[in-house]
């Protein structure tokens, strides 16, 4: 039986993770949101830090969004933090059913199913990228639709036993054995059932994606107590950063701040669908500014600030941190 083979394998092969066997719905929710498009190894330290600072839904509710983002800073997809914060403020406790969970901000079909099955024992299949790949190979499907995958996964879900454990077992198989590249088919507990084993890398077919270039300028205003930071809109929403804009606007921006900036270098930064290319300018500034360490910053802004700081140090300017 396929189900028994997978579960037996899982018991012996599962990686020890901080949220294994967790029953607290809040902690399960946090782990699942952190794991959205994020590798397990990358999520673990943030999971620990987050719980240290916000151990309960109540603690999260009583915090400001900015405090939450300060802990989230660095892991990416910052709307997840905002959604989580909104969830904490929406109700005293989390709803217990898949259908209700799916209505919460930041919870889609996968996360709602994961929480419903792991925290509340609901028999609903959680289909993430791992499960998608496992099922595509198991049934030799090149382009399965989300609907078809959900139906397949639901049909496979055992009628007895812990549905949360089952969902995790399927994902664990995808993460460690049925990997995107070089799957370990000889070690797979489902080998006897798999129709895609002859050419596993054909399933599912990869989707093409474009990566566009974006050229911008960044202006670092170096004040007495820190730098000028503004809340970011759109990209990096909720975090802070130095002003960035198309390079043609540099003159106008500099005039508006009453400074004459120097070019201090360039910064490249890659996002999933964008290649950012920033020319960085810096100037000493009459304003006070704020200490960047006190604000949640995207990695891009950290790079820009390092570039400016290196230039200014070379020019003999004492960084405000040491003032």
Residue number, 259 or 297, with CB nearest to DNA: 297
For DNA, the closer of residues 1 and 208 by Cβ is 208
Q: Under the criterion CB under 7 A, does residue 272 sit at the interface with DNA? A: yes
* Using rule CB under 7 A, residue 136 touches DNA: no
CB of 175 to DNA, least distance (A): 4
Check if 32 is active-site.
Answer: yes
Cβ neighbours, 10 Å, residue 21: 12
- φ, ψ at 253 (rounded to 5°): -65, -45
**225 binding DNA? (CB under 7 A):** no
* Closer residue to DNA in complex, CB, 150/197: 150
- CA 97/CA 112 separation, integer angstroms: 8
Please report, as residue ranges, which positions from 239 to 268 form the binding site for DNA (by CB under 7 A).
none
List the interface residues with DNA, window 66-85 (CB under 7 A).
Answer: 74-79, 83
Alpha-carbon gap, residue 98 to 90, rounded angstroms: 17
Judged by CB under 7 A, the stretch of 5-13, 55-63, 150-158, 229-237 that binds DNA is 229-237
* Among 21, 45, 55, 108, interactor with DNA by CB under 7 A: 108
Using CA atoms, how far residue 270 sits from 126, 214, 274, 275, 315, in Å, is: 30, 10, 6, 5, 29
What is the footprint of DNA within residues 3-62 (CB under 7 A)? 17, 19, 31-32, 35-42
Residue 234: exposed, middle, or buried by beta-carbon count in 10 A (0-12, 13-18, 19+)? exposed
**Distance in Å, CB of 254 to DNA, minimum:** 25
Contact residue for DNA among 105, 246, 258, 319 (CB under 7 A): 105
Nearer to DNA, 93 or 272 (CB): 272
Compute the least distance from the CB of residue 191 to DNA, in Å.
Answer: 20
Q: Which of 4, 11, 22, 32 is catalytic?
A: 32
Residue in the block written with tokens 């006897």? 192
Stretch that binds DNA, among 48-56, 127-135, 247-255, 305-313 (CB under 7 A): 127-135
Q: Which span sits near DNA by CB under 7 A: 63-71, 186-194, 206-214, 255-263?
A: 206-214
Measured in Å, how far apart are the chain's first and last C-alpha atoms?
69
**Looking up tokens 């000889």, which residue turns up?**
186
Q: Can you read off the two tokens belonging to residue 193?
A: 């059932």
Q: Read out DSSP for 242-279?
A: --EE-GGGHHHHHHHHT---EEEEEEEEE-SSEEEEEE
Rounded least distance, CB 168 to DNA, Å: 5
User: CA-CA distances (angstroms) from residue 150 to 46, 103, 131, 135?
Assistant: 29, 18, 10, 10
Nearest Cα neighbor of 130 from 77, 189, 204, 194 is 204
Residues lying near DNA in the complex (CB under 7 A): 17, 19, 31-32, 35-42, 74-79, 83, 105-112, 114, 128-130, 133, 145, 168, 171-172, 174-175, 180-182, 206-209, 211, 234-237, 269-275, 298-300
Which residues are the active-site residues?
32
């Amino acid at each position: 039986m396929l189900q028994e083979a997978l579960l037996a394998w899982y018991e012996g092969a599962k990686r020890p993770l901080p949220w294994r066997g967790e029953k607290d719905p809040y902690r399960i929710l946090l782990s699942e949101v952190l794991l959205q498009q994020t590798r397990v190894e990358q999520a673990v330290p943030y999971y620990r830090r987050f719980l240290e600072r916000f151990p309960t839904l109540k603690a999260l509710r009583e915090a400001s969004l900015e405090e939450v983002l300060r802990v989230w800073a660095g892991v990416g997809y910052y709307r997840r933090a905002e959604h989580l914060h909104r969830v904490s403020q929406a109700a005293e406790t989390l709803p217990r059913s898949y259908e209700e969970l799916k209505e919460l901000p930041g919870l889609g079909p996968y996360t709602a199913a994961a929480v419903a099955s792991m925290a509340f024992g609901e028999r609903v299949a959680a289909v993430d990228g791992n499960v998608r790949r496992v099922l595509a190979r198991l049934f030799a499907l090149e382009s399965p639709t989300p609907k078809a995958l959900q139906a397949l996964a639901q049909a496979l879900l055992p009628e007895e036993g812990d549905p949360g454990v089952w969902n995790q077992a399927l994902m664990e198989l995808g993460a460690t054995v049925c990997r995107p590249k070089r799957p370990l088919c000889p070690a797979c507990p489902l080998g006897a059932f798999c129709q895609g084993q002859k050419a596993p890398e054909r399933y599912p077919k990869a989707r093409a994606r474009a990566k566009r270039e974006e050229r911008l300028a960044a202006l670092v205003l170096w004040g007495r107590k820190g730098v000028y930071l503004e809340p970011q809109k759109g990209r990096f929403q909720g975090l802070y950063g130095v002003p960035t804009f198309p390079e043609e606007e540099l003159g106008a921006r500099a005039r508006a701040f009453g400074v004459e900036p120097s070019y201090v270098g360039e910064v490249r930064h890659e996002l999933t669908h964008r290649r950012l290319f920033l020319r960085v300018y810096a100037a000493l500034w009459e304003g006070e500014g704020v200490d960047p360490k006190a604000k949640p910053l995207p990695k891009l802004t950290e790079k820009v600030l390092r570039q400016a700081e290196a230039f200014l140090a070379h020019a003999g300017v004492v960084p405000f941190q040491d003032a």
